[in-house]
Amino acid sequence: MKITVETLVAAPLQTVWDSWTTPEDIMAWNAASDDWHTTAARVDLREGGEFSSRMEARDGSMGFDFTGVYTVVAPLSRLEARFGDREMIVEFIQTAEGVRIREAFDSDGEYPEDMQRQGWQAILDRFKAHTEAKAAR
């Protein structure tokens, strides 16, 4: 089952792309809530290149690594990746109002799909806020 989340970011396409693919930016937005944070991120932005991030609860009670391999890198347009036996597609769609980010990924089969959608949407909402603030500087 594919789950899709999306948002519209009021920022230039290059800024949106850079926020999505730069480790320092990823560490600033990659969490579903304020009680979590990303402590490390790595991006090898090429087909066959690996990416990883370490997300941890701020109280140190738990954490996990998210790693994968890019299968398609179409700059300023599309990223596709595999993580484990799952796939993810991220589209960067230029519109008159900004850049629409559409992210589709395979359900993990462990947690309820609504829970997964809410978590990934919360992260995407933080991405939007971070990127719009960055573009306003």
Domain extent for 104: 2-136
Q: Under a CB-based contact definition with an 8 Å cutoff, are residues 3 and 113 in contact?
A: yes
% of the chain at pLDDT higher than 90? 95
Q: What is the pLDDT of residues 67-124, one digit of tens each?
A: 999 999 999 999 999 999 999 999 999 999 999 999 999 998 888 899 999 999 999 9
pLDDT of residue 133: 98
Residue environment code for 19-28, b if the CB has 16+ CB neighbours within 10 A, otherwise e: bbbebebbbb
Cβ proximity of 46 and 73 under 8 Å: yes
> Is the pLDDT assigned to residue 1 strictly greater than 90?
no
Q: How far is CA 105 from CA 11, 56, 98, in A?
A: 24, 22, 23
Could you give the residue ranges of the DSSP H alpha helices within 1-137?
13-21, 23-29, 113-136
Q: How many CA atoms lie within 13 A of 71 on its CB side?
A: 11
The yes-or-no verdict on residue 9 having pLDDT over 90 is yes
Q: What DSSP designation does 123 have? A: H
- For residue 111, the model assigns a pLDDT of 83
Average pLDDT of the residues of the chain? 96
pLDDT at 108: 86
CB 80 within 8 A of CB 87: yes
Q: How confident is residue 19, by pLDDT bands cut at 50, 70 and 90?
A: very high
Q: How many domains does the chain have?
A: 1
CATH at 79: 3.30.530.20
